[in-house]
Structure 1
Amino acid sequence: MAQQGAALQNYNNELVKCIEELCSKRDDINKQILREEEEKVKLQNDIRILTEKLSRVNESLARKLAARNDFDRTIAETEAAYMKILESSQTLLNVLKREAGTLGKSTDLRCANVGHSPHKD
């Protein structure tokens, strides 16, 4: 019987040792879980902050793209109007030169006629 008692004591000691090892491993896992939960909360907070920043950047970018498009449209319209002014200026200059030439010839004729006029004042 003493031998059986000693075997039972041996089994009991091993069982206690195994249970203690399992509890120790459980505690290690629990510490890892707590660290990872803290990391998860931190990462979720970082994601929230970055998502808010991304939203603000996207809104700002949309406003700036719209403003740039307005500038592009205004520049294109202004350049087109300026080209029309240049074309009109060139046309006006050509008309003026032609008229000046015609007037110059007409004036030369009048001057020639005045110089040879039979009527003297």
Structure 2
Amino acid sequence: MTQQAAALQTYNNELVKCIEDLHSKRDELNRQIKLEEEERERLQHDIRVLSEKLSRVNESLTQRLAARATLDRTVAESEAAYTKILESSQSLLSVLKQEAGNLSRATEPRRRDH
């Protein structure tokens, strides 16, 4: 019986060691799981922060694009109006020169007649 008791004690020791190894592996796995869950939380937080920043940037960009479009229209309209003013000024100058020439011709013969 002592042989059986010794064998039983050996088996018992091996079983205890196997169970302790399983506990150790489970503890290590739990540690890794906890680390990954913490990393996941950090990443989810970073995603939320970046999503909020992206939303703000998109909103700002939309406003700036609208402001630029308004400025582009204003510049185009101002340039067109300025071009019309220049054309009108040129036409007015041409008419005034022509009228001045006509007036000069009209007044010259009278001077010669006297």
With normalisation by structure 2, the TM-score equals 0.94
- 1:6 to 2:19 alignment: no
What does 1:77-92 align with in structure 2 at a 5 Å threshold? 77-92=77-92
Shift of 1:101: 0.9
Match in the other structure for 1:40: 40
Measure, in 2, the Cα distance between the counterparts of 1:20 and 1:103.
121
What is the number of residues matched between the two proteins? 114
Identical positions, percent:
67
In the alignment, the residues of structure 2 paired with residue 65 and residue 50 of structure 1 have an alpha-carbon distance, to the nearest angstrom, of 22
* One-letter amino acid matched to 1:49: V
Q: Pick the structure with more helix per residue.
A: 2
List gaps (5 residues or longer) in structure 2. none
The Cα of 1:4 is off from its aligned counterpart by: 2.0
- 2:68 corresponds in structure 1 to 68
1:55 Cα offset (Å): 0.6
Provide the residue aligned with 2:93 in structure 1.
93
List gaps (5 residues or longer) in structure 1: 116-121
RMSD across aligned C-alpha pairs, in angstroms? 1.0
**Aligned-pair distance for 1:63?**
0.5
Counterpart AA for 2:109: L
